[in-house]
């Protein structure tokens, strides 16, 4: 089920799912899905045997969709409405999955019930990316992993810099060229004026960043 205004699972969802499939999940893994939308990634994580999956979204419609979509599949997923990590303050997870809005949009955040919430990420596309890069390390268990999807138009190097500055081992593990969808096509002139795309460019590169919190004490013991 996908109500109007809730992000439709697309190629970036598929990329994130594939990256999750390459992880060697620890027994009893706790997984957090930030910006769950329809719950597609949370469903994938639960099906892979995670002991506990938590899915968070700011949108009421998304929370209802994720709750319904996990319930009808008989999956145990904790679905919470809230702003990024706020509902899980003090908790740590083995894996954090994030496919946030990353399209360069408007300076002012969209209204709470606007459909643009699913894609508009500020003038540089980093309104949520910066917050995730800053807050995720504190919510990773020792040896935990963050998997983050974004567009190259939203400055991949800045995400890597922020994650590494926070002490994580961060690198790009997947990338794919994708043709512009309707949202991007509608913003071609704006993207060119910001210097984010070249004249005639009709594609963007999507990447998955993996950032690991290494356990130095365990490494020293070995």
Strand 203-212 and strand 169-179: pairing?
antiparallel
The size of the chain, in residues, is: 222
The pair of structure tokens assigned to 33 is: 């899905």
CATH architecture classification, 11-179+205-215 = 3-Layer(aba) Sandwich (3.40)
pLDDT at 50 (0 to 100): 78
Q: Domain ranges in the chain?
A: 11-179+205-215
Tens digits of pLDDT across the chain (222 residues): 998 888 889 999 999 999 999 999 888 899 999 999 999 999 999 998 878 999 999 999 999 999 999 999 999 999 999 999 999 999 999 999 999 988 776 767 766 666 666 767 677 889 899 999 999 999 999 999 999 999 999 999 999 999 999 999 999 999 999 998 877 887 888 888 878 888 888 888 999 999 999 865 443 333
Distance CA 122, CA 126 (A): 6
């Amino acid at each position: 089920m996908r109500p109007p205004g809730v992000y439709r699972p697309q190629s970036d969802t598929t990329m994130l799912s594939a990256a999750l499939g390459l992880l060697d999940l620890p027994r009893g893994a706790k997984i957090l899905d930030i910006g769950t939308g329809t719950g597609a990634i949370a469903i994938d994580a639960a099906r892979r045997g995670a002991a506990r999956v938590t899915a968070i979204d700011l949108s009421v419609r998304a929370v209802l969709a994720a709750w319904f979509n996990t319930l009808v599949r008989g999956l145990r997923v904790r679905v919470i409405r809230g702003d990024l990590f706020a509902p899980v303050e003090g908790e740590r997870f083995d894996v954090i999955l994030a496919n946030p809005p990353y399209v360069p949009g408007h300076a002012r955040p969209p209204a709470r019930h606007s459909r643009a919430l699913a894609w508009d990420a500020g003038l540089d596309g980093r309104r949520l990316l910066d917050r995730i890069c800053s807050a995720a390390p504190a919510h990773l268990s020792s040896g935990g992993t963050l998997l983050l999807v974004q567009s190259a138009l939203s400055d991949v190097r800045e995400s890597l810099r922020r994650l590494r500055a926070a002490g994580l081992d961060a690198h790009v593990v997947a990338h794919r060229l994708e043709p512009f969808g309707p949202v991007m096509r509608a913003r071609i002139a704006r993207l060119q004026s910001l210097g984010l795309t070249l004249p005639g460019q009709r594609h963007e590169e999507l990447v998955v960043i993996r950032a690991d919190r290494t356990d130095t004490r365990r490494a020293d013991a070995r």
